[in-house]
Structure 1
Amino acid sequence: MREGSISIISIFMFLIIIMLSMFTIYIYTIQYSITASSIDNIQSNNITENKLNEMIYDKECFDEYLLPIIIQKCRGNRVPSNGIWKIDFKNNPNMSNNLIESYVEFEDIDNRLNMILDIRTEYNNIEANLKAWVPVMKEIFELEQPILTQSKLDFEYNQSFLELMKLLEKEIWEHDCSPTSSVRKFNSDKDMIIIMDRIDTSHNMINPLNDKKELLQIYNDNLKELHRFTTNIMLINLKSNEENKSALIIGEEYSPRNLKMQGVLYIEGDLVINQKFEFNGLIIINNGNIIINTYEKPTINGMILHKGDLEPNEQDYNLNYDSNLVRWFCTYIPGAFNPEIQLIKKYW
């Protein structure tokens, strides 16, 4: 009887040990699965964040995939009807790996243009979704000030202003701004003169009395005509040489007519305005001054960036800061876009 009791107790204890072992294995398996799942979740999240950082902070990736979209948005060209762009990374294995889809849209937040990136990835059957809000423009362009000078900026903005001027000196001549057929670009290190006349389109001859079309004519400092055209969208990059400080001369003194232009005037020297002048876009004076030789106040819709000895007096101009014009014409200069991730939201 005693031997039978011992056998039963032994079997019972054996079963308990087996059950405890199985329970231990089960707990270990659950913990392992949870740990593995957590690791996969973390890895999936890291993959999504890495793709976001590469899109924004890798210059080659940003220039190839995001900058063209920003340019389309700012110029108003080929904007999708729903305002959402799909980013196609099929030719980039590094970016397309683990990526389900990525989209871009834009929103104005606190007077700043924000790019909203929506990225979805998958890793080991675990999806991660991330949204990021990214102000895309250098902030000095969105201060809503029609004239920027060093004295008007605090230390941080002043550093950004000087860095931009230095970059423009170095890169603006060779900058690929993707101009359309309606935009003309001129680089020169000599004085330039812009005057207006009229063209008789039926005979293709100059006719000052004809009011059909405005003709803008550009001359060098020897009054040799460089170009004439009927478009009024121009990118003029005037650099000073070692011997002389260059000047861009607008119009003729005592002319009663209103010379209208739009585009970007980058001048390492003086801008001389001789007649009534209306300009849409960016005027950038780098180590020069603006000289007004007319009683008519120039009308500037957009922005003036001025680095020179004599700061412009806002009372001498009709000024209108226009964010749409500023954004449009910033697409034609280097250094205007400086994306910084402001906010990230994650979804699973």
Structure 2
Amino acid sequence: MASLNSTHHALETSHPNPSLQVTADHRIKMVEAPVEEPGPGHVLLHIKTTGICGSDIHFWKTGRIGSLVVEGDCILGHEAAGIVLKCGEGVEDLKVGDRVAVEPGVPCERCFLCREGRYNLCDDVQFAGVYPYHGTIQRYKVHPAKWLYKIPNNVSYAEAALLEPLSVVLHGVRTGGLSLGRPALICGAGPIGLLALAAARASGAHPIVITDLEPKRLSFARDYVPSCITYQVDRDLSSEENAAAVRRLFGADEYSAPSTILECTGVESSVVLATFAVRRGGVVCVIGVGKSVMNNLPFMHISLAEIDLRFINRYRDTWPAGLACLSGGTLDVKKLVSHVFPLEKAMEAMDICSDLGNGSIKVQIVDEVAAAVV
């Protein structure tokens, strides 16, 4: 996988390779990036669509997510789909012209976690858009063929780029264990929360409540999944008081309280709300990315109620299932794309995405240039 220290040879192309890079001092810039020759087992892609993720904003604004620190210039982006331009030696399952979705994490495949099939926990993963591994907000990118998936004809590049956040949700649903006819709560109506809402509906969970601070996002949620119930979190109430209000939306008795909660914000107050809203013996699966340390989790409440507090790290073995959901019509993700920008205006796209007041849901960057390799 291409990194800042890559030894791949540069290719001559008929077009430049604009890229959006973040710096160690919390700036973003458009920079011409080299185009690399695909080595054995790799392909050269023309990235057609990349979605902006909250992690991209975190790396820009704060320079880190937990132990992942931006220590130098790095191309952002990991929610991507594109077309194969050139295949390296030994690539047999892909050919030039294939449309593909990109699984951005490349594990070592040698550690005990990889051998167990839990490659999402690999400590040596090379993840696109996380320093020092360059991401997908560029025209040309080299990626291992093994971590690319052919896109069916009825799935667009925009939909295929949403497979990455959908994979997060699929892993969260699998970990949280949504059940047919059982009540569920989704905390957060951002892109991940909205995908979780759609997945919960498809799973047969009922009733489903979704929370957020932003009324525009809750309005979108009602349009996206009309059967859901929305709750605007009250900043003047404690997490426990907000949880009590959420509980009342499900019904008066303990049994009607949500048995599964998918917490999609990572915000401490929302995680606390989830622990108070879930029924005794229920499951809270934290999908969202939060701060390194949370000091106010109600430990004894979680303990005495035997609340099963679970966590996920990205995903594993989700791209085939995600493609099946899209091609089979199980989930409609197209509605989530609220803004589209050309690659050359990637900085403007980041600005729009960084301010929730702009009403964005999913911002995507597209490249319509008919790219080719010489």
State the structure with more CA Rg.
1
Say which structure, 1 or 2, has more relative contact order (CA 8 Å, 6+ apart): 2
TM score, norm. by length of structure 2: 0.27
Structure with the higher fraction of residues in strand conformation: 1
TM score, norm. by length of structure 1: 0.29
